[in-house]
Amino acid sequence: MPPVPTYPPSRIRIEDPQPSIDCGRHPAKACVGDTVDVEATIFKDGHDVLRAVVRYRAAGPDDDRAPWHEAPMRRIDQHVGGDRWAGAFPVTAQGRWSFTVEAWTDQFATWRSEIERKVAAGQEDFAPELSEGAVLLRAIAQRAGDDSVDGRQLHRLADHLTVDAALDPALLELAERYPDRTASAVLDAPLQIDVDRVRARFGAWYELFPRSWGGLAGVAAQVPRLAALGFDVIYLPPIHPIGVTNRKGRNNALVAEPGDPGSPWAIGSAEGGHEAISPEIGTLGDFERLVETCREHDVEIALDFAIQCSPDHPWLTEHPEWFQRRPDGTLKYAENPPKRYQDIYNVDWDCEDWRGLWEALRDIVQLWVDRGVKIFRVDNPHTKPLPFWEWLIADIRSRDPDVLFLAEAFTRSAMMRALAKVGFNQSYTYFTWKNSRWELQEYLTELTRSGMERYYRPNFFANTPDILSEYLQHGGPPAFAPRLLLAATLSPTYGIYSGFERFEHVAVRPGSEEYLDSEKYEIKHRTLDGPLLPLIEAVNRIRRRHPALQHLTNLQFLETENDALIAYAKRHGDDVIITVVNIDPHHVQEGVVVVPYELGLPPAFAVRDLLSPAERYDWMIGRNYVRLDPGFRAGHIFEAVPR
């Protein structure tokens, strides 16, 4: 039999505290400046009045000594038997924050509630109850300090306590300043919040291959223009030396022709491995100048981190123990049927020197951090061990919390969620394949309402070098504007791969998502002159000016009465944005946007189309007519404005 407790345990229960990821196994996520909403179910036997607070503190050099702060919690479901409570606290600095919930019985409020009910029932003799109240007031005076101003006032009230005085709201307010928490309940262990810089939540990415822009120096020359277009992050595929053995040719041909540059993901040659820069695109000095140019224009470099090696990578001779050989002594190249990657080998995560492998990979990341890279797009993290990522990300960010990791994983939902839980700050999504109205609404509801929003930050890439969706292939140029509008207004973070602005949409073969003449295997001659750039610039400008578009969970879908039209609203403070998109790239579509009262707008209001600011319409709560011609305008981004 279990022993009898030394002290009486608290009779208050605190259950299902949120945000809590896997019962506290992983931290939830927030960004500097956010308000963290906290909820818990709090109850006790009987009918006592309860009070609760959320206690929180920021990470510091000595976490055990960091001061705790408090914010009140209030019951949020007022129906009979409702026991759900909510509170909130601000996070003002990066790092790992802790929070807990504390609840206690308010003895004075409980006594006062009994007096109220007895008065309502017509009871007249309150002498016994008033004597009990006097005892409670003297105990409160002692906690306030008997000789303090409040203490002396409480003693005077106790000496001459009446029913009217007992029910005075001012007395309740005074008593609540000095609660008795000696029998309070708290969570068994604090929960945690990882607080990142705002770039983890909000930003516009542009992906490019440096070799198609004149190398690193050529990319640096484009930075001012990319910054003017509103991009915050320039993402570079691997910039390392490319192997020669089994080098791929154009359109993934097994045999490269003379002059074929090979795939940047076939990392490693005689010139070096993951620590080196391909001589074909520049030098370390060129890279340092690129990073400095980006810094001058408030743009960041995101570097690809791909854990794979060409047959010519130095590690194959320096560390053969890191690679698994078949019984005949050969190495097995990478495969993801039906895709085959004859030009790369994967490392052996189960090798005896796994610690050495982990540390070498960590050192590679730290090397590029020291060179000024603060964002890493990680290639196929779902094919590597989760414990490795949890360790590596924590190790790197313990020295530099500015570093962010994007998980490029298009795989099973459980694995994508797990990667976010173990530390990835952003994640690729299924957005590319969600094209119908119901698919988008269902998927965004999952991202914003299922609990994923507490730890999973989506990055909506409209295309990638590996993914040319059927929607873009078959929709042609008119399909690109709707996908841009959706990506940029549904998600706070989105990206495009160069060529998107030029409507590149021809696949290598029917049924494939690979581009014809893919840039992965050949050098293009890129320039920033695509016909979609004016719309991209306008959308990025709108995103920066409107806080409503910089958040995810404020999304509310609106009825359109036409499945070819999708409409949704986002509100942040007084900033209200309503977006309507025609997702049919072939036909004019008409419908309505039904604005609900819950959006908080007046019965009649005006909207201004931010994509065409001269256009202003009178709208109202209820049905509002819209018509969108894909040849002229794919959508509206409306700002609700005072009339």
- Asked if domains 1-106+186-196 and 555-641 share a fold, the reply is yes
Q: Mean pLDDT throughout 405-410?
A: 97
Residue with more model confidence, 481 or 331? 481
Give the phi and the psi of residue 446 in degrees, each rounded to 5.
Answer: -65, -45
Q: Which of 106, 379, 514, 519 is catalytic?
A: 379
Which tokens in the block code for residue 384?
A: 């590597």
Correct CATH for 198-550 of 3.40.50.300, 1.10.10.10, 3.20.20.80, 3.30.70.580: 3.20.20.80
Which residue is catalytic, options 34, 300, 408, 514? 408
Q: pLDDT tens-digit profile of 139-157?
A: 999 999 999 999 999 999 9
The string of pLDDT tens digits covering residues 369-403 is 999 999 999 999 999 999 999 999 999 999 999 99
DSSP string, 243-267: --TT---GGG-SSPPTT----TTSB
pLDDT digits over 97-151, tens only? 999 999 999 999 999 999 999 999 998 899 999 999 999 999 999 999 999 999 9
CB atoms within 10 A of CB 294: 20
Architecture of the domain spanning 1-106+186-196: Sandwich (2.60)
Q: For residue 191, how far is the Cα from the chain centroid?
A: 18
> Is the CATH number 1.10.10 carried by domain 107-178?
no
pLDDT of residue 130: 94
Query: Is the separation of the CB atoms in 399 and 428 below 8 Å?
Result: no
Give the span between the Cα atoms of 210 and 79, in whole angstroms.
61
pLDDT digits (tens, 9 = 90+) for 474-504: 999 999 999 999 999 999 999 999 999 999 9
pLDDT digits (tens, 9 = 90+) for 414-426: 999 999 999 999 9
Q: Does residue 81 carry a pLDDT above 70?
A: no
pLDDT band at 77 (very low <50, low <70, confident <90, very high): confident
* Per-residue model confidence (pLDDT) at position 59: 76
Residue matched to tokens 């106790």 = 158
Q: How confident is the model at residue 618 (pLDDT cuts 50, 70, 90)?
A: very high
pLDDT at 63 over 70: no
Name the fold adopted by 555-641. Immunoglobulin-like (2.60.40)
Beta sheet of 604-609, edge-to-edge order: 555-558, 565-572, 575-582, 635-641, 604-609, 616-620
Domains of the chain, by residue range, sit at 1-106+186-196, 107-178, 198-550, 555-641
pLDDT in tens, 271-306: 999 999 999 999 999 999 999 999 999 999 999 999
Q: What is the DSSP string of 72-123?
A: EEEE---STT--EEEEEEE--SSEEEEEEEEEEE-HHHHHHHHHHHHHHTT-
What percentage of the chain has pLDDT greater than the value 70? 97
Retrieve residue 474's tokens. 């078959």
Please tell me whether the peptide bond between 19 and the residue prior to it is cis, using omega within 30 degrees of 0. yes
Strand partners for 103? 52, 185
Alpha carbons 485 and 580: distance in angstroms, whole number = 9
Kindly tell me if the per-residue pLDDT of 78 is higher than 90.
no
Tokens of 66: 């960091």
Strands 333-336 and 575-582: unpaired
Confidence of residue 358 (pLDDT cuts 50, 70, 90): very high
Residue position matching structure tokens 């269902």: 442
3-state secondary structure 549-573: HHCCCCEEEEECCCCCEEEEEEEEC
Residue 204 near residue 495 (C-beta atoms within 8 A): yes
Q: In angstroms, what is the C-alpha Rg of the chain?
A: 30
Mean pLDDT of the chain: 95
Which is nearest to 231 in space by CA: 546, 496, 499, 552? 496
What is residue 485's predicted lDDT score, i.e. its pLDDT?
98
Return d(Cα 615, Cα 555) in angstroms, integer.
24
Asked if residues 108 and 132 have their Cβ atoms less than 8 Å apart, the reply is no
pLDDT reading at 521 higher than 60: yes
Does the pLDDT at position 187 exceed 70? yes
What lies within 8 Å, CB to CB, of 534 at 6+ separation is none
CA distance 597 to 599: 5
**Interatomic CA distance for residues 450 and 89, integer angstroms:** 22
Q: Whole-prediction pTM value?
A: 0.95
Does residue 605 have a pLDDT over 80? yes
In the structure, what pLDDT confidence band is assigned to residue 332 with cuts at 50, 70 and 90?
confident
Does 147 participate in catalysis according to the annotation? no
DSSP structure class, residue 45: S
Note the pLDDT of residue 573.
96
Instruction: Give the pLDDT score at 84.
Output: 96
Reported as half-sphere exposure (CB side, CA atoms, 13 A), residue 187 has a value of 23
List, for residues 544-572, the tens digit of each pLDDT value.
999 999 999 999 999 999 999 999 999 99
Active site residue 359: no
